[in-house]
Structure 1
Amino acid sequence: MAKKLNDIQNLIEDENFLFHNYFYENIDSDIENFINTLKNRTKVFIFSGIIRDYFLFKKHTPFRDIDLIIEDDLILENIFPSLIYKKNSFGGYKIKFDTVEIDLWVIKKTWALNQGQLKFEFDYLNALPKTTFFNFSSIIYSLNDKRFIVGIDFLRFLRDKKIELVLEENPYPDLCIVNSFYYSDKLNLSIGDKLKSYLKSNYKNNEDYLENIQIKHFGKILYSDECLKERIERILPTANNV
């Protein structure tokens, strides 16, 4: 992988059409029809794990979930009468298909923009990469325009191969702590200094909730309280120097 950020940006732009084909080749017809119906009514964007894994591994990994953002606030229940879904407290949809779940958000209802953490009245799309917690999520893909919208933090992620913090404010700090170790293990990547400092600062206030959030999010406990405490202690010397 290139070391200069401009070179990495160019490499990503070279993948614009290849990624579009890759995505559609790996979804079922019912999901394709759902997404194409949305595209006829608004702009649709992919974000998070699918893009990250595409650039890290360059091979097909079965899609278990797909994260989408739409530009306009559509009433999905009226467009898709047989839709099986749940709504969360932030207005997002969790939609169930046979083998895949889709998490769908409206741009202006994404947490950081909706809660006023960042103010971008006229440029929501370029703002989105700045509103993610992890740097590996600081990129979105427009399915309508067949192009990536890339944040500088994602470029640094590909260059440095480290998981790092982008936007500290988050409604679920307990889940952020667990996910920091989960993705570090899953992707075999180290944790950056800013994220280590965040873990150090937030662990004490959230340590009583870390097993419960794992059960809620993963359906099981991946890391015991003792395991997480040991891992936090291991990163403290570095975090103290940040």
Structure 2
Amino acid sequence: MINTRKKLITYLRKRDGIKPSLQATLVNIRCKLPDVVIFGGMVRDFGLGVRHFSSDIDMVTTASAEQIRHALAGLNPVMNKFGGFRFRENGRLFDIWSLQDTWAIREGHAQAKYLSDLCRTTFFNLDAVIFDVHALKVRARHGYDEDLQRRVLDINLEANPNPRQMAIRAVRMAIQKDLQLAPALVEYVLEQLYGTSLNLTYQSYVRQLHDHTGRTPESAFRFEPQLKIW
């Protein structure tokens, strides 16, 4: 995870024209809130080798929801539909949650005392990673580095609020990021999507998944896009 850490720090300190660095926003947040981490997608994508990250940045803190609201008052945060707070700063969207308000913990699927416990709450194994904006360190679930190097997407915690959408997300991530699907996730995706209405690329992907389980169900699956033309 050393390379992931280096890439993140370099990116966070980068300036875009006359805009202040992303680091300036994070420094402002960490001065007002204790124990803040960047969670999931951004950390995962830099580990996978992306050069630029343009999506929302997800963050979690041990502060309460009321403490977050008070600390970020100057940034005009609004409650998002998932129980966290959303705000825009320097053209970038941020979502920040209190640790106890994150979905798996709030619904009782996992318990957490420390922010590192977040790594037990994600559906995907490759999302089970955090970047501590105070200590500038990356922490992840056991076995994360091996899965990252092999580019294998698997289930970390099966409980989630929308199984079909999670299965679609698995297919989309696998295609866009050139990931293999582990056998447990192959089975999950087929259970949710096989025989349902999907776009042509996703239909082809699910067909290949189905064929794969008939040949080598114990092995990870990698999509062959040239086979999507029948």
Paired-residue identity, %: 19
Other-structure match for 1:215: none
What do residues 20-54 of structure 1 show as CA deviations (whole Å, max 9, x unaligned)? 34323257538544422321231110122222222
What do residues 103-143 of structure 1 show as CA deviations (whole Å, max 9, x unaligned)? 211111111111111234x4x32321121111211110111
Other-structure match for 2:126: 136
In structure 2, relative to structure 1, the CA distance for the partners of 1:188 and 1:13 (3 Å cut) is closer
What is the identity, as a one-letter code, of the residue corresponding to 1:174? R
2:56 aligned to 33, 52, 65, which one?
65
Whole-angstrom distance in 1 between the partners of 2:91 and 2:178:
26
Give yes or no for contact 2:167–2:193 (8 Å, CA) kept in 1.
yes
Q: Residues 69-108 of structure 1: matches in 2 within 5 Å?
A: 69-75=60-66, 76-108=68-100
1:196 aligned to 171, 183, 186, which one?
186
Whole-angstrom distance in 2 between the partners of 1:15 and 1:177:
26
Q: Quote how far apart the aligned CAs of 1:74 are.
A: 4.7
Q: Quote how far apart the aligned CAs of 1:182 are.
A: 1.1
Larger deviation, residues 176-185 vs 17-26:
17-26
Q: Aligned residue pairs: how many?
A: 212
Other-structure match for 1:235: 209
What is the identity, as a one-letter code, of the residue corresponding to 1:178? I
1:146 aligned to 136, 143, 147, which one?
136
5+ residue gaps, structure 2, are 219-230
In structure 2, relative to structure 1, the CA distance for the partners of 1:26 and 1:118 (3 Å cut) is farther
Give yes or no for contact 1:52–1:137 (8 Å, CA) kept in 2.
yes
Larger deviation, residues 232-241 vs 128-137:
232-241
What is the identity, as a one-letter code, of the residue corresponding to 1:145? A
Q: Residues 40-55 of structure 1: matches in 2 within 5 Å?
A: 40=31, 41-55=33-47
Residue 166 (str. 1) matches residue 140 (str. 2): no
Q: Residues 7-22 of structure 1: matches in 2 within 5 Å?
A: 12-13=1-2, 16=5, 19-22=8-11
What is the identity, as a one-letter code, of the residue corresponding to 2:30? K
Whole-angstrom distance in 2 between the partners of 1:71 and 1:239:
42
Q: Quote how far apart the aligned CAs of 1:169 are.
A: 0.5
Give yes or no for contact 2:63–2:98 (8 Å, CA) kept in 1.
yes
5+ residue gaps, structure 1, are 1-11, 209-222
In structure 2, relative to structure 1, the CA distance for the partners of 1:62 and 1:113 (3 Å cut) is closer
Give yes or no for contact 1:153–1:166 (8 Å, CA) kept in 2.
no
Whole-angstrom distance in 2 between the partners of 1:82 and 1:38:
11
So what's the TM-score if we normalise by structure 2?
Answer: 0.78
Other-structure match for 2:226: none
Task: Indicate the RMSD between aligned Cα atoms, in angstroms.
Answer: 2.8
Give yes or no for contact 1:17–1:147 (8 Å, CA) kept in 2.
no
Q: Residues 203-214 of structure 1: matches in 2 within 5 Å?
A: 203=193, 207=196
Q: Quote how far apart the aligned CAs of 1:190 are.
A: 2.0
Q: Residues 215-230 of structure 1: matches in 2 within 5 Å?
A: 224=199, 227-230=201-204
Give yes or no for contact 1:136–1:153 (8 Å, CA) kept in 2.
no
Whole-angstrom distance in 1 between the partners of 2:110 and 2:72:
32
Other-structure match for 2:13: 24
What do residues 73-116 of structure 1 show as CA deviations (whole Å, max 9, x unaligned)? 15344334343443234421222234211121111111111111
Would you tell me which structure has more helix in proportion to its own residues?
Answer: 1
Residue 176 (str. 1) matches residue 150 (str. 2): no
